[in-house]
């Protein structure tokens, strides 16, 4: 039998050079709740609690020492208030992306007619599934180049009891036939594509660099808008007149993105900052 108080002390002793005290406590309580069904409040009331099988939480400690993200260790996370399974084939959903989803929901929540939505580069499916869950009378399609990512996304759709049609395709070399099969153009296209430039790697923490899929993160320094151009090309063919394109963007490329959307005949282009006052989202209304 091991005291959870002793294990928590061990977490702090072995992780303090990597994480803050608050982060370590958060990891510890997430693990005790997931592995032993003991939440923070229960432990606060009885910190002399013991567990019979500490192997799971001690194994997690070793993974944290190697900077593996807690979401991958647990195999799950929460996004926009709903659960998502995650693994190394998909990015861990970020709060900034929640803000993008919230922007779309806020603008279309009173829409009465059916909406058709395409999520490009769906990953875990967090955007597509959250939109499907929160916008009634919406048909959502989700595209990704990664077969492994689509397996995760399909599982998440089942987990959250929503219907999303998944498409395996590359946005850089799309098969028009795949999207034409949808039969009607989209009201909304949304994307959180790779946008971190290679030179920005040095700004990222090891837990991201060493674990999350680089395919979904990085773009070459000399062509940082590569995916956005491809998305705009697809949007011109597959977005309705006055349909709306929403994208999460690199905070350093807001002005470039404003010009790009204008070059592709988007009107009422709007750059939006996240809660940290960084240029993080953009939208434009297509004018055909």
Q: What are phi and psi of 188, to 5 degrees?
A: -135, 135
The answer to whether the Cα torsion of 158, 189, 82, 136 is positive or negative is negative
94 and 231 inside one domain: yes
Give 183's Cβ-side CA count (13 Å radius).
Answer: 1
Q: CA-CA distance, 99 to 114, in Å (whole number)?
A: 23
Q: What is the pLDDT of residue 1?
A: 61
pTM for the model stands at 0.91
Interacting residues of 214 by C-beta distance below 8 A, sequence separation 6+: none
Q: What is the pLDDT of residue 287?
A: 84
143 and 247 inside one domain: yes
CATH number at residue 114: 3.40.50.150
Length in residues, the chain: 288
**284 belongs to an annotated ligand binding site:** no
Q: Which residues form the domain of 45?
A: 2-66
10 and 102 inside one domain: no
**125 belongs to an annotated ligand binding site:** yes
73 within some domain: no
Q: Quote the number of domains for the chain.
A: 2
**192 belongs to an annotated ligand binding site:** yes
Model pLDDT for residues 11-29, shown as the tens digit of each residue: 999 999 999 999 999 999 9
**124 belongs to an annotated ligand binding site:** yes
Q: What is the pLDDT of residue 181?
A: 53
**93 belongs to an annotated ligand binding site:** no
**121 belongs to an annotated ligand binding site:** yes
CB of 87 closer than 8 Å to CB of 125: no
Q: What is the pLDDT of residue 176?
A: 59
61 within some domain: yes
60 and 155 inside one domain: no
Interacting residues of 120 by C-beta distance below 8 A, sequence separation 6+: 143, 171, 189, 190, 191, 193, 231, 234
125 and 169 inside one domain: yes
Q: What is the pLDDT of residue 198?
A: 77
Q: Can you list the residues of the chain whose pLDDT is less than 70?
A: 1, 47, 175-183, 202-204, 206-210, 212
Q: CA-CA distance, 288 to 286, in Å (whole number)?
A: 6
């Amino acid at each position: 039998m091991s005291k959870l108080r002793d294990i928590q002390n061990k977490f702090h002793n072995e992780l303090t050079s990597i994480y803050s005290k608050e982060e370590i406590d958060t990891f510890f309580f997430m693990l005790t709740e997931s592995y032993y069904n003991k939440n923070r409040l229960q432990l606060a009331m009885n910190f002399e609690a013991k567990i019979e099988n500490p192997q799971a939480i001690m194994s997690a400690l070793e993974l944290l020492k190697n900077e593996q993200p807690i979401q991958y260790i647990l195999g799950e996370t929460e996004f926009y208030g709903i659960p998502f399974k995650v693994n190394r084939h998909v990015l861990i959903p970020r709060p900034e992306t929640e803000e993008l989803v919230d922007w779309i929901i806020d603008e279309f929540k009173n829409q009465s007619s059916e909406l058709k939505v395409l999520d490009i580069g769906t990953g875990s499916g967090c955007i597509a599934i959250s939109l499907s869950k929160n916008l009634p009378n919406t048909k959502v399609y989700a595209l990704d180049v990664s077969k492994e990512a689509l397996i995760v996304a399909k599982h998440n759709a089942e987990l959250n009891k929503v219907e999303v049609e998944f498409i395996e395709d590359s946005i850089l070399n799309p098969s028009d036939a795949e999207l034409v099969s949808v039969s009607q153009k989209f009201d909304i296209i949304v994307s959180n594509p790779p946008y971190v430039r290679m030179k920005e790697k040095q700004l990222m923490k090891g837990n991201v660099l060493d674990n999350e899929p680089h395919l979904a993160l990085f773009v070459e320094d000399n062509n940082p808008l590569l995916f956005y151009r491809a998305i705009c090309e697809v949007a011109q063919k597959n977005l309705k007149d006055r349909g709306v394109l929403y994208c999460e963007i690199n905070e350093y490329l807001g002005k470039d993105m404003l010009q790009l959307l204008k070059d592709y005949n988007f009107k009422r282009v709007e750059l939006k900052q996240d809660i940290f006052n960084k240029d993080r989202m953009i939208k434009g209304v297509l004018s055909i």
